Structure 1
């Protein structure tokens, strides 16, 4: 097992950030390290303990390039529509633009997917489906962070999900939920991010 960073649980939870500009694009990431983090992620809950998730780990340059092309097709109209001009909005836009430009050079891309069968996604509330995948994806990000790896939660490629599915041979009945670019990161200054006050979003015994 790889050596873990000396982070207590609260530090790990509050300093796991979306890493884009600080991804180290030059340092290879061993597949065994991704496997180790995924084994931790598989301890996450899933509905009825079904464990119908699947994880597609991509380090092949041509396949990464294909994913990046689909991502950029979705990113261009997305970033053009952004209206935030405050400092935080500009910082996020700059970071996101950088990731779109370099995505195929990130050492590893991990796609989290889930089996839904021939019936596809339900028409109504889909919390049961995504609640059986996304907690594990977040657990994966935490496990990566504990091992000195950065990641960023992205979903824009899902606008071209069928193209990516064909590229990777993902079968019918399996839907993608998240794309995580993964690399070692540069620097160590990860801090808790500004958030809205708890009392702005807390409701006790009703709205």
Structure 2
């Protein structure tokens, strides 16, 4: 059963959910499968469909991934504090709320019922040139997964900090060297019912017509 959301509602209220992930309620694997099956309808370069999805439900594996994520997050937290000092007061208030929820997720990542890793066939060493064709064949599908999850009452968060330990996580899960991880999507039922569009800069500050 899906929520009664219009396309505009779905697109504007699918948020990164961190503090509101329900860590106690089990997530049926069938729901995750439905979300991934819909994600497979996303575009990929040359229709290669080189994506792979690793769904982690084992408690010990989730805990170990959470440990790697927290290690990487500790380094990120230091850099984040330096960036925050350069923000306007209005933006700083918003980012402070994001920081608080990010801190929470870093502590609880290993307790989230389902961890989904979106991966793509590539090479053991990524090319030094523009990698947009590679990741452009995976990330739309990952976003489609989040939309499908939202429609089914599941929350998720877009996270990549674990990639500081990509090889370690790959070894833990048996991911071969020619498959690269793109994003980690912690998934759980969300608590509460209210999601609203996030504050964004006005369109005309980022829109360029014909020329910059």
Q: Deviation per CA, 1:33-66, whole angstroms, max 9, x where unpaired?
A: 0001111000000000000000000000111011
Instruction: Please tell me whether residue 107 in structure 1 is matched to residue 113 in structure 2.
Output: yes
1:86-165 aligned at under 5 Å gives the runs 86-117=92-123, 120-165=125-170
Asked if the contact 2:53/2:117 (under 8 Å) is kept, the reply is yes
Q: Which runs of 5+ in 1 are unaligned?
A: none
Count of equivalent residues: 204
Q: Deviation per CA, 1:111-152, whole angstroms, max 9, x where unpaired?
A: 00000145x322111000000000000000000000000000
Instruction: Please tell me whether residue 192 in structure 1 is matched to residue 197 in structure 2.
Output: yes
Q: Deviation per CA, 1:87-124, whole angstroms, max 9, x where unpaired?
A: 11211111000001011110000000000145x32211
Instruction: After superposing the two structures, state which structure 1 stretch, 120-129 or 35-44, moved more.
Output: 120-129
User: Aligned equivalents of 2:5 and 2:147: distance in 1?
Assistant: 11
Normalising by structure 1, we get a TM-score of 0.97
The two structures, once aligned, show a CA RMSD in angstroms of: 0.9
Moved over 4 A (4+): none
1:2-151 aligned at under 5 Å gives the runs 3-83=1-81, 84=84, 86-117=92-123, 120-151=125-156
Normalising by structure 2, we get a TM-score of 0.94
Quote how far apart the aligned CAs of 1:80 are. Answer: 1.9
Match of 1:192, SS?
Answer: coil
User: Aligned equivalents of 2:139 and 2:188: distance in 1?
Assistant: 20
Q: Which runs of 5+ in 2 are unaligned?
A: 86-91
Asked if the contact 2:155/2:189 (under 8 Å) is kept, the reply is yes
User: Aligned equivalents of 2:202 and 2:159: distance in 1?
Assistant: 25
Corresponding residue of 2:174: 169
User: Aligned equivalents of 2:138 and 2:128: distance in 1?
Assistant: 18
Match of 2:118, SS?
Answer: strand
